[in-house]
Amino acid sequence: MSGSARRTANPAGHLRASARSDVPAFIVMDVMEAAARLEARGQRVIHMEVGQPAAAAPAPAIVAAQAALVSGRIGYTVALGNVSLRRRIARHYAERYGTDIDPARIVVTTGSSAGFMLAFLTLFEPGDRIAIASPGYPPYRNILTALGCEAAPVEVTASTRFAMTPEAVLAAHRERPLRGVLAASPANPTGTMMTAEALAALARTAEDLGIAFISDEIYHGLDYTFPAETALNLSADAIVINSFSKYFCMTGWRIGWMVVPEALVRPIERLQQNFAISVPTLSQVAAEAAFDGRDEMEAVKRGYEVNRRILTEGLPGAGFGRFLPADGAFYLYVDVSRFCDDSIDFARRMLEEAGVAATPGVDFDPVHGRHYIRFCYAGAEAEVREAVERVTAWLK
Ligand SMILES: Cc1ncc(COP(=O)(O)O)c(C=O)c1O
């Protein structure tokens, strides 16, 4: 496009982005970009920054998607998602958690990311306050901000296994009334999990306060010390958000689901009809078949367990004294305060000097995150071993 054409499109240069679009960047993406620049110069980088599995989607998912492509037409589906996929997800709840879920309460979404938008829009008005754990997954607060809501960060510490407690939520509610609580177990970035009792107590607190309880269960299936319980077994009002991205290694397929109380189904359906029409059909077909690839995914999970052991046994030798109990997901949140006061600088130097990319904690916790970095161990075992060796040599 020529310069004059550009000027014509915006003659007075008066277009401004809205204030609500002014949300912070995802720092992990900046680390990825810095890593890509080094790689372009020929340096090899071990990627432990992005939270995504190195493994491919389960073979049955790929075969089903190929067959659907060959069959020709990929049209819209109904807004709530293919009935057969919603039934298959309901069966998953029966098999995995022993719970009976009406498929009519299941909504297929474009990754769990779209599930958050739909849930927040359906549950909250602008100005509403929602409690989230800090450290926590940054898009929770950034999506809430963009929708005109307020994220109320609840600081979590080792004394509660880095999970929100009823007391902390009640204290936040006393400061200014909350309209919702969002919990994740296993959590990102900490990898820590809540026991079923702790999750139940939080859900009960939300019920008592008459506010929404949202449970992000995206890392279910990736639990190493005790099985994760679904909030659906703990509260009839819980809103559960899940995804095929992590356990099923389908990040790029952009497919997830929600389980919501019956009263919310129609409002969510109307939003989805207008926002997206429907979720990508090819991904829905693949997701349904993904459930037949569980054996394959269990093997991938065993690989994460090996990687987890390599890190938890190897990092102390590098001088990292403290990290959070890695109960689940594929993250280790490591205290680097012994080495520096600025995790962005630490991550930058570790990338440039040791060739290992990790995410600075400030992405997840603007206050204490400068003392932490997050390693993702969803990659190949050999690379995780090499990363420990490189970081150990670098810190010597
Ligand atoms: C805790 C948590 N929730 C939700 C998501 C969003 O995942 P997706 O939109 O791929 O389902 C992520 C991605 O890293 C995450 O870590």
pLDDT tens-place string over residues 43-73? 999 999 999 999 999 999 999 999 999 998 8
* Token pair for 187: 């959590």
φ/ψ of 151, rounded to 5, equals -80, 130
* Token pair for 142: 């950034």
What HEC string does 275-295 produce? HCCCCCHHHHHHHHHHHHHHH
Q: Please state the atom number of ligand 1 nearest to the C-alpha of residue 254.
A: 10
Q: Please state the atom number of ligand 1 nearest to the C-alpha of residue 244.
A: 11
Q: How crowded is residue 73: how many other Cβ atoms within 10 Å of its Cβ? A: 6
Ligand 1 pocket test, candidate residues 188, 217, 255, most atoms within 8 A of CB: 188
CA of 276 to the centre of ligand 1 (A): 19
Q: Please state the atom number of ligand 1 nearest to the C-alpha of residue 110.
A: 9
Contact predicate 387/46, CB 8 Å = yes
Helix, strand, coil percentages for the chain (3-state, nearest 5):
50, 15, 35
Report, as an integer, the average pLDDT of 129-155: 96
CA of 15 to the centre of ligand 1 (A): 32
For the segment 8-26, what is each residue's pLDDT rounded down to a tens digit?
Answer: 556 667 889 999 999 888 7
Pocket of ligand 1 (CB under 6 A): 51, 111-113, 137, 184, 188, 216, 218, 243, 245, 251, 256
Which band of pLDDT confidence, cut at 50, 70 and 90, is reported for residue 1?
Answer: very low
Give the pLDDT of residue 9.
59
> From residue 271, how far is each of 34, 239, 268, 276 by CA, in Å?
37, 16, 5, 8
Which band of pLDDT confidence, cut at 50, 70 and 90, is reported for residue 2?
Answer: very low
β-strands 46-47, 359-360: how paired? unpaired
Cα(392)–Cα(171) distance, integer angstroms: 42
Report, as an integer, the average pLDDT of 232-247: 97
**Range with the lowest mean pLDDT among 14-23, 109-118, 299-308, 349-358?**
14-23
CA of 198 to the centre of ligand 1 (A): 22
For the segment 253-278, what is each residue's pLDDT rounded down to a tens digit?
Answer: 999 999 999 999 999 999 999 999 99
For the segment 171-182, what is each residue's pLDDT rounded down to a tens digit?
Answer: 999 999 999 999
CB-based burial, 269-300: b 16+ in 10 Å, e otherwise: bebbeeebebbbbebbbbbbbbbebbebbeeb
